[in-house]
Amino acid sequence: MKHHTVASLLALAASTVLAQAGTPAPSPEIATATEAPWIKPIIDVRLRYEFADIDTFDPSHALTIRERVGLKTKEFHGFSALVEGEFTQAIIDDYHGGAPGVDPFDPANSTIPDPKNEELNQAYLQYSGFDTTLKAGRQRIIYDNAAFIGNVGWRQNEQTYDAISLTNTSVPGLTVNYAYIDQVNRIFGEDATGIFENAPAEIHLLNASYAGIKGLTLGGYMYLMEFDDVPSQGWDNDTYGLSAKGAVGGVTLYGELAYQEDAGPRNDQEGLYAHVYATKNFFETHALTVGIEHLDAGVQTPLATLHAFNGFADATDASRFNGTHPGLTDTYASYTLPIFWGVKWMNAVHFFGDNSISNDLGFGFDSVLTKKFDDHFTAIAKLGYFDSEDRIYLDTTRASIELNYTF
């Protein structure tokens, strides 16, 4: 029934586009070159090969293609709508999809959480007016750097939310975001079982940023998460945080500090989250970043885009998600430079510790090549390596190459 619903929506979208294509063009007196179309297609395609080798598991190979297709309407008296389906096929499926019920499901293999999938990715109504944007329905939500609230955009099936969200910019320089989330639609897709498919919840998110001071952006947030199902109640937590970003002497500085309570697998822990980094640009096109991120034992980030943190091997993702780590400290440095034909090359190193910071949990190395061909095509090659010094985490190697197309 779920697949039939998605297919029906997309068939309706396709018939609408075809109907418009068969309609004679209006005369020049009626239409102008700058007039936006009433309906705009959404096309986002990603072809990716990924290799994963996690200690104690068999190596995995995945060649997947993911299509997001949909329609977005033009605003009419402030109102607009969007509908988008998401489809993932596996051309090579020698891997573990990461959750019960998914295809492929092979627990002996290393996990690559990109199972085959067909689902309704986004469908919402939107109103914009009076310095406010209001959305109701299934939608993508990303706040700040996605350390706490993100869409897990690296995976083929992104994380979306059944929610009501609001953004207000009435006060100059101040942006206020609020969202009430009724359900988290997770990355494992429609065929996954229970909370691996979606997680019903009562979640309140409040996020604000102020850029009214020259060269400085201040932020603050309050995230209150309460999940409905017993298996997911260990994800409950309340988080309160502040951040600041600015530039001094040509160096970009960032600092963030948060307090979390009712955290950990038994909701009985509290702790601090801290992240600071500095970025210096050289020769106009080179960039050096050094930073340190720390989570006290039990601090968890179940709605984060985990891939963006602690190295691209994703070795620490599970413990960061559910707060089962003994503290997690990532001291890192990265360097980005252009090499040839418009290709950007980023290399990063990570040194991991626990609550005492000095304890050696492992070493990570990342290397990424990115080539943007034009406004539509981008290619990315990525390597993530993690060498564990403690059995809390497993030695992990991930490598991927992909081509992205957006329209």
| Structure tokens belonging to residue 349 | 């190193």
Measured distance CA(217)–CA(215) in Å, rounded: 7
Which pTM was predicted? 0.91
Q: Is residue 400 a part of any domain in this protein?
A: yes
Lowest mean pLDDT among 173-182, 200-209, 390-399: 390-399
* Helix (H) or strand (E) segment spanning residue 407: none
Q: In the chain, what percentage of residues exceed pLDDT 90?
A: 85
pLDDT band at residue 53 using 50, 70 and 90 as cut-offs: very high
| Mean of pLDDT values over 46-50 | 99
Q: Residue 391: what pLDDT?
A: 79
Number of domains in the chain: 1
Are 396 and 48 in contact by the 8 Å Cβ rule? The answer is no
Please choose, from the candidates 271, 279, 181, 193, the residue with its C-alpha nearest in 3D space to the C-alpha of residue 226: 181
Q: Is residue 29 a part of any domain in this protein?
A: no
Are 102 and 191 in contact by the 8 Å Cβ rule? The answer is yes
Lowest mean pLDDT among 33-37, 155-159, 299-303: 33-37
The long-range contacts involving 366-375, CB below 8 angstroms and separated by at least 24 positions, are: 366/311, 366/312, 366/313, 366/334, 368/312, 369/343, 369/344, 369/345, 370/343, 370/344, 370/346, 371/341, 371/342, 371/343, 371/344, 372/342
Q: Is residue 30 a part of any domain in this protein?
A: no
| Structure tokens belonging to residue 196 | 């691996």
Burial (0-12, 13-18, 19+ Cβ within 10 Å), 77? exposed
Q: Residue 152: what pLDDT?
A: 98
Is the pLDDT score of 29 beyond 90? no
Is the pLDDT score of 142 beyond 60? yes
Please choose, from the candidates 137, 198, 184, 161, the residue with its C-alpha nearest in 3D space to the C-alpha of residue 2: 198
Q: Residue 268: what pLDDT?
A: 87
Q: Is residue 241 a part of any domain in this protein?
A: yes
Are 375 and 317 in contact by the 8 Å Cβ rule? The answer is no
pLDDT in tens, 170-200: 999 999 999 999 999 999 999 999 999 999 9
Q: For residue 100, say if its preceding peptide bond is cis, omega within 30 degrees of 0.
A: no
Q: Is residue 364 a part of any domain in this protein?
A: yes
| Mean of pLDDT values over 272-295 | 97
Lowest mean pLDDT among 24-38, 90-104, 209-223, 333-347: 24-38
Q: Is residue 166 a part of any domain in this protein?
A: yes
Is the pLDDT score of 232 beyond 90? no
Are 386 and 360 in contact by the 8 Å Cβ rule? The answer is no
pLDDT band at residue 43 using 50, 70 and 90 as cut-offs: very high
| Structure tokens belonging to residue 193 | 């079982």
Is the pLDDT score of 41 beyond 50? yes
> Other CB atoms closer than 10 Å to residue 314's CB: what's the count?
23
> Other CB atoms closer than 10 Å to residue 151's CB: what's the count?
19
Are 329 and 354 in contact by the 8 Å Cβ rule? The answer is yes
Q: How much is the mean pLDDT over the chain?
A: 92
Is the pLDDT score of 370 beyond 80? yes
Please choose, from the candidates 387, 390, 391, 247, the residue with its C-alpha nearest in 3D space to the C-alpha of residue 311: 387
Q: Residue 7: what pLDDT?
A: 43
Q: Structural domain of residue 238, as residue ranges?
A: 2-24+35-406
Q: Is residue 59 a part of any domain in this protein?
A: yes
Question: Tokens 């996954």 label which residue?
Answer: 192
Ramachandran angles phi, psi of 187, nearest 5°:
-75, -10
Q: Residue 108: what pLDDT?
A: 98
Q: Residue 34: what pLDDT?
A: 66
| Structure tokens belonging to residue 400 | 């991927």
Torsion sign (Cα): 310, 359, 54, 364 = positive
Q: Is residue 99 a part of any domain in this protein?
A: yes
Measured distance CA(317)–CA(319) in Å, rounded: 6
pLDDT in tens, 7-23: 443 444 444 333 333 44
Measured distance CA(114)–CA(49) in Å, rounded: 11
Name, in order, each residue with C-beta under 8 angstroms of 114's C-beta and a sequence gap of 6 or more: 48, 50, 62, 64, 66, 88, 90, 95, 97, 155, 156, 157
pLDDT in tens, 86-130: 999 999 999 999 999 999 999 999 999 999 999 999 999 999 999
CA distance readout (Å), 371 to 247, 284, 338, 353: 28, 18, 10, 33
Q: What CATH number is attached to the domain comprising 383?
A: 2.40.160.10
Lowest mean pLDDT among 24-33, 192-201, 267-276: 24-33
